[in-house]
Amino acid sequence: MQVQELMNRNIQLATPNESLRAVAERMADCDIGYMPVGENDRLIGAVTDRDIAIRGVGAGRDGSAKVAEVMTRDVKYCYEDEDVEHVVQNMGDIQVRRIPVMNRQDRLVGVLSLADSALGYSPPSTGTAMTGVVVPGGAHNQARAGQSSAGHGSAGNGGGGR
């Protein structure tokens, strides 16, 4: 099964200059906790409700602070035509619950979550991936701020996601 068969195509995109308050309000309205961040038609990061809470409010920022101040810049992604099993396994390895999905022209086309995988594909595979995600520490540990500027990499075919 390919990622495009499970991914959510109805994505909300944040911008780096958007306020944390505006993004948090959209997250609440849409009942989501994750937004890719885009600029000039390119994926440049991601922001979660936890980023807003820990890197934003927890660091003394208010709702007028900008997404760019708290977002994760080193975002791993996968491609829509990749095998779900491989991508979900890599999500566990790199400790992420949600991952942007790109087409082969490097345009954002969706988001895949471990929940999407569990509901539409394979609970056992997703359980294995979740085991990796919940291990303390890792690259996305909030204590490290996760604000690397190392660039993007695929979590699917090994192009930086491992």
Residue 159, pLDDT score: 36
- Complete DSSP assignment for 25-60: HHHHHHT-SEEEEEETTEEEEEEEHHHIIIIIGGGT
Q: Which CATH superfamily is domain 3-134 in?
A: CBS-domain (3.10.580.10)
Residue 143, pLDDT score: 54
Task: Indicate whether 122 pLDDT > 60.
Answer: no
Residue 93, pLDDT score: 87
* Whether this model's pTM surpasses 0.95: no
- Nearest Cα to Cα of residue 95 among 58, 57, 144: 144
* Domain ranges, ordered by start, for the chain: 3-134
Least confident of 23-32, 92-101, 126-135: 126-135
Residue 152, pLDDT score: 39
With a CB cutoff of 8 Å and minimum separation 6, the contacts of 95 are 132, 133, 135, 138, 139, 140
Grade residue 137 by pLDDT with cuts at 50, 70 and 90. low
Residue 157, pLDDT score: 42
CA distance 93 to 84: 14
Mean pLDDT score, 64-79:
96
DSSP state of 142: G
Residue 92, pLDDT score: 86
Average pLDDT, the chain: 81
β-strand pairing of 108-113 with 153-154: unpaired
